[in-house]
Structure 1
Amino acid sequence: MSKLFLVRHGQSLWNLENRFTGWQDIDITEAGIEEAKKAGMALKNEKIDVAFTSALIRAQHTLTIILDVMGKPDIPVIMDKALNERSYGNLEGLNKAETALKYGDDQVRTWRRSFDIVPPGGESLKITYSRVIPYFEMHILPLLKKGENVLVVAHGNSLRSLIMYLENLSPEEILEREIATGIPLTYSYDGKFSRFENGN
């Protein structure tokens, strides 16, 4: 049996400022650093063979801290933009509350929380899923099938896409799933995926 660990990056500066971040390369805050350290402590006794992360600094920085705290800084790390956050297009950098005042709460909620509606110039969760899952099936799943344990540090919506796939959730179910920053989620794999309810 192998294990898959998923971690959303620690709090970023634009998380703190309530901005749409998407593909903007924003680093984590001091609070995000502490979240990453706690994730490292939570995973300290786990065996990790390889780690994957996105092309964005907030996920990479979080992963580096996790591996340092685990005492495993030399684990192979693979970075790919397929694991990037969902692009919010023209909304990136805008304050979410101010955007809601301009376009209305319902419109902003639709952009953020629908499965297949695309924000202006950006990606829907459906589009994000269509790049995350083929990458997972091609590069990560074969390692799990070989019995290797894999850590993925990524973003709210790229991980939401992956969780939808792992747990066979409907679009409605996955849109209700909140993914906290810096808290590991653990799945076992023995031909099928099972989630450890205690996370880790």
Structure 2
Amino acid sequence: MEPNHPFYSNISKDRRYADLTEDQLPSCETLTFCNEEIVPQIKEGKRVLIAAHGNSLRGIAKHLEGLSEEAIMELNLPTGIPIVYEWDKNLKPIKPMQFLGDEEMVRKAMEAVAAQGKAKK
């Protein structure tokens, strides 16, 4: 987020970040943060929760599963349904992503995501 963004000061002036200098306040999610903070915890065997929006999650899935540009554009991740990955020792998925929810609920949620942005008739 650039300093001229309308909500920048709402975040940068938040009392929770009072101990941070301007240059310590990240302007976006970073791969560096992921590699320095999240990856070591996964390697230690800890369970890690990543809360993110659809496009960020699709980017993670694309990277983890080696999906093509075409495949990732067709991936409709259901909103609000947790995704689970299991890893080998090299942090490669043992199997494809799994959703925590019954199959019918997940299917309907994926269809709802696919329908977003389509013109209503």
TM-score under structure 1 normalisation? Answer: 0.33
What is the CA distance between 1:135 and its match in structure 2?
3.2
Structure 2 unpaired stretches of 5+: 12-26, 101-121
Distance 1:167 1:143 in 2: 20
User: 1:184 aligns to what?
Assistant: 82
Cα distance change of structure 1 residues 155 and 134 upon mapping to structure 2, 3 Å threshold = same
Q: Name which of 158, 162, 184 aligns with 2:60.
A: 162
Do structure 1's residue 140 and structure 2's residue 34 form an aligned pair? no
Could you say if the C-alpha distance between residues 24 and 196 of structure 1 is closer, same or farther in structure 2, counting changes exceeding 3 Å? farther
**Cα distance per residue 1:99-153 (max 9 Å; x no partner):** xxxxxxxxxxxxxxxxxxxxxxxxxxxxxxxx4x443223211110111100111
Note the residue ranges of structure 1 that are not aligned, 5 or more in a row.
1-22, 26-54, 56-79, 83-130
For the residues of structure 2 that align with 1:24 and 1:168, how far apart are their CA atoms? Answer: 36
Q: CA deviation at 1:166?
A: 1.0
What is the deviation of 1:198? 4.3
Percent identity of the aligned residues?
36
**AA paired with 2:36?**
M
TM, length-normalised to structure 2: 0.52
Cα distance in 1 for residues equivalent to 2:47 and 2:61: 17
Q: Which has the larger radius of gyration?
A: 2
- Structure with the higher strand share, 1 or 2: 1
Distance (whole Å) between structure 2 residues aligned to residue 156 and residue 167 of structure 1: 16
Q: Does the 8 A contact of 1:160 with 1:179 survive in 2?
A: yes
